[in-house]
């Protein structure tokens, strides 16, 4: 058995502790019938269980509100809606009455039907963790369990939790003092549990295939939530190496802190604009603290996550104003709702598609659903009355999509003017370049766009035909593939010829080695994850322009991703200790060390 496991690092930090396996398997539910006179009692038991679970989920939501923030707490709104769903509960009650079944027997039967149906839907699989958690609580309550904690960790121990899948409800119950790391077989960086782990400061690795079978309970595990590695039963030398790596990261952090207020200028005097990507409101403060020069990508999907109703126009406008005001007049680029794939709100009646990432998503949803898109456009215009706000359209593949969106912006601007509502008449409208199709028609898109921003995550996914959320294909998902490098070069050349700004806002810009490649290609505007910004600024200020250009020239002529990566490591290595620059992480550890054995590491 290999002692090294790999997954996706979703929350940085280093931890070493015994493994605690959480097996949240569905209980054996007996096929139990009841007497006719007891049928209504079983229906009442079902409804009581629903009320009990809903109350507990509300309690969990309050706990998340205190520990992580209001946006994360809304995750439980979705679970509450799912628990109370009459479209599911009515058939359960009907089964109890018609077949005289016990509440748990009928519930388990219908729950199994739903789980099987959702498992076959790529769009719904991401919500299976929530569904799983709800049904576990319901069955536990109906079969006489306490209904609160389905597992418990000894109060006097520190452990690394290992599970098949981590639900948000399970994650938020974790005590940071006792749970020092998380490992799960399922999940990606965008999973709700990953977001919560990051917010709670718990190092985590997800997508670790076979973790439950490979890690015995109680085995000592060394976890690095930055690069996604797990070492089983680590040796003294491996622990010492972990300690050395943590020390290197800590020294680098001190260097990064020292340049927070310094400009992002290369050694040759070229000024680079470093903006921030903002997913959640609590990241605004971090982005400002590390010196982000505005927001190059303000994601808006969190406004829909787990909500029972769509956000109002005013609610959105207030949030957009809040962000723009926080950045004191600097540019804020708002991406319209990037719905679809695995990102549909609970209340949204979306189609079941065989290939959702190739289907109805992003700008296609916005243009087809004016009751979703137009209020967002109006909110942007209202917030832009006296602020530098821009609108960015995701996953554009047709010139007509940009033209139609621009027409909507003008129509809503005129509508607001007629209504006497203070708002901008229009805003700059740009395009996210995320597909080979957009690259190939970039010259035409430039004619109807005010700016380009390259989303390297989807561009890589669609170019290489590799699912970016598939842990098994993680090694194949790389923006260093020569096809990506050449497209980056091509789009920048088109933008320059058209006289419009071109930036990169995908994860590639947050990776230090890749940032050098982008600088060498000629990019002077990057939008990065806020925690990564100090490191990217340090790299900008350290690697000379001629060296970056040399790396880019070699990358354009390379035959493989490995060759591109090796070229970058070689060139950057002339100026920086590349051991500090993990190519799969946006951040060198953030100095967070959860638990390492005393005397061996710290």
Q: Which residues are catalytic, by number?
A: 192, 505
CB 211 within 8 A of CB 196: no
Cβ neighbours around 116 below 10 Å, total: 9
- 332-335 and 295-298: which strand pairing? parallel
Residue 333, token pair as written in the block: 């680029």
Angle between helices 103-119 and 128-142 (to 10 degrees): 170
Structure tokens at 319: 């949030």
Tokens of 411: 């129509």
On whether the CB atoms of residues 508 and 434 are closer than 8 A, the answer is no
CA–CA separation, 310 and 307 (whole Å): 7
The candidate with the shortest Cα–Cα distance to 129, out of 73, 201, 174, 187, is 187
Cβ proximity of 105 and 31 under 8 Å: yes
For residue 184, what is the enclosing H or E element? strand 179-184
CA distance 245 to 222: 13
Helix spans in 201-343 (H): 211-214, 236-258, 283-289, 313-326
| Count of residues making up the chain | 602
Give the closest residue to 583 by CA, choosing from 561, 554, 555. Answer: 561
Residue 22 DSSP SS3: strand
Residue with tokens 């965008």: 190
Cα Rg of the chain, angstroms: 25
Can you spell out the DSSP letters for 494-529?
A: HHHHHT--EEE-SGGGGSHHHHHHHHHHT--EEEE-
Measured CA to CA, the distance from residue 224 to residue 594 in angstroms comes to 10
Residues paired with 78 in a beta bridge: none
Strand pairing partners for 528?
276
User: Residue 484 has which token pair?
Assistant: 């990506």
Pick the closest to residue 415 from 426, 405, 404, 429 (CA basis): 426
* Distance, CA of 185 to CA of 526 (rounded, Å): 33
Q: What are the structure tokens assigned to 234, written together?
A: 């680590």
Answer yes or no: are the C-beta atoms of 300 and 294 closer than 8 Å. no
The three-state (H, E, C) secondary structure of 391-439, written as one string: EEECCCCCHHHHHHHHHHHHHHHHHHHHCCCCCCCCCCEEEEECCHHHH
Residue with tokens 């992002």: 264
The answer to whether residues 485 and 517 touch, using CB atoms and an 8 Å cutoff, is yes
Pairing of strands 220-224, 273-278: unpaired
């Amino acid at each position: 058995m290999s002692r090294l496991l790999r997954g996706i690092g979703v929350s940085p930090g280093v931890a070493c502790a015994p493994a605690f396996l959480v097996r949240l398997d569905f209980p054996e539910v007996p096929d139990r019938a009841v007497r006719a006179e007891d049928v209504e009692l079983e229906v009442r038991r079902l409804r009581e269980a629903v009320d009990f679970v809903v109350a507990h989920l509300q309690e969990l939501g309050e706990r998340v509100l205190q520990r992580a923030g209001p946006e994360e707490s809304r995750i439980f709104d979705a679970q509450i809606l799912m628990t109370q769903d009459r479209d599911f509960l009515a058939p359960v009650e009907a089964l109890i009455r018609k077949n005289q079944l016990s509440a748990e027997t009928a519930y388990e039967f219908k729950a199994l039907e739903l789980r099987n149906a959702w498992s076959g839907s790529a769009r719904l699989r991401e919500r299976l963790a929530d569904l799983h958690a709800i049904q576990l609580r319901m069955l536990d309550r109906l079969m006489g369990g306490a209904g609160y904690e389905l597992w418990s960790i000894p109060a006097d121990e520190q452990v690394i939790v290992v599970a098949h899948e981590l639900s948000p409800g399970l994650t938020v119950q974790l005590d940071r003092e006792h749970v020092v790391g998380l490992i799960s077989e399922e999940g990606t960086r965008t999973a709700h549990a990953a977001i919560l782990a990051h917010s709670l400061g718990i190092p985590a690795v997800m997508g670790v295939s076979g973790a439950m079978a490979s890690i015995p309970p109680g085995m000592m595990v060394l976890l690095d939530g930055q690069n996604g590695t797990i070492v089983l039963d680590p040796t003294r030398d491996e622990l010492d190496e972990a300690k050395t790596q943590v020390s290197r990261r800590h020294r680098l952090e001190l260097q990064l802190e020292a340049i927070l207020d310094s400009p992002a200028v290369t050694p040759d005097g070229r000024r680079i604009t470093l903006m921030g990507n903002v997913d959640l409101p609590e990241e605004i403060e971090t982005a400002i603290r590390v010196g982000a020069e505005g927001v190059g990508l303000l994601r808006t999907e969190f406004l829909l996550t787990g909500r029972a109703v769509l956000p109002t126009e005013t609610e959105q406008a207030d949030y957009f104003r809040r962000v723009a005001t926080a950045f004191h007049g600097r540019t804020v680029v708002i991406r319209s709702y990037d719905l679809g794939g695995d990102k549909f709100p609970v209340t949204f009646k979306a189609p079941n598609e065989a290939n959702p990432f190739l289907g109805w998503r992003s700008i296609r949803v916005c243009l087809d659903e004016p009751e979703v898109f137009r209020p967002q456009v109006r909110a942007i215009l209202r917030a832009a009355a006296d602020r530098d706000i821009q609108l960015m359209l995701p996953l554009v593949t047709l010139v007509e999509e940009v033209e139609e969106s621009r027409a909507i912006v003008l129509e809503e601007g005129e509508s607001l003017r007629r209504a006497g509502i203070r708002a901008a008449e229009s805003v700059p409208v740009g395009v996210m370049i995320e597909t080979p199709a957009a690259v190939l028609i970039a010259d035409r898109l430039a004619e109807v766009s005010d700016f380009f921003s390259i989303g390297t995550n989807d561009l890589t996914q669609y170019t290489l035909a590799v699912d970016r959320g598939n842990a098994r294909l993680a090694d194949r998902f790389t923006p260093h593939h020569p096809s990506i490098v050449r497209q980056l070069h091509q789009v920048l050349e088109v933008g320059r010829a058209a006289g419009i700004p071109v930036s990169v806002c995908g994860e590639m810009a947050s990776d230090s080695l890749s940032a050098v490649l982008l600088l060498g290609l000629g990019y002077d505007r990057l939008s990065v994850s806020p925690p990564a910004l100090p490191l990217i600024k340090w790299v900008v200020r350290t690697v000379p322009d001629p060296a970056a250009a040399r790396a880019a020239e070699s990358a354009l002529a390379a035959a493989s991703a490995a060759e591109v990566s090796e070229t970058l490591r070689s060139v950057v290595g002339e100026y920086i200790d590349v051991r500090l620059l993990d190519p799969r992480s946006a951040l060198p550890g953030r100095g967070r060390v959860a638990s390492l054995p005393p005397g061996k590491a710290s």
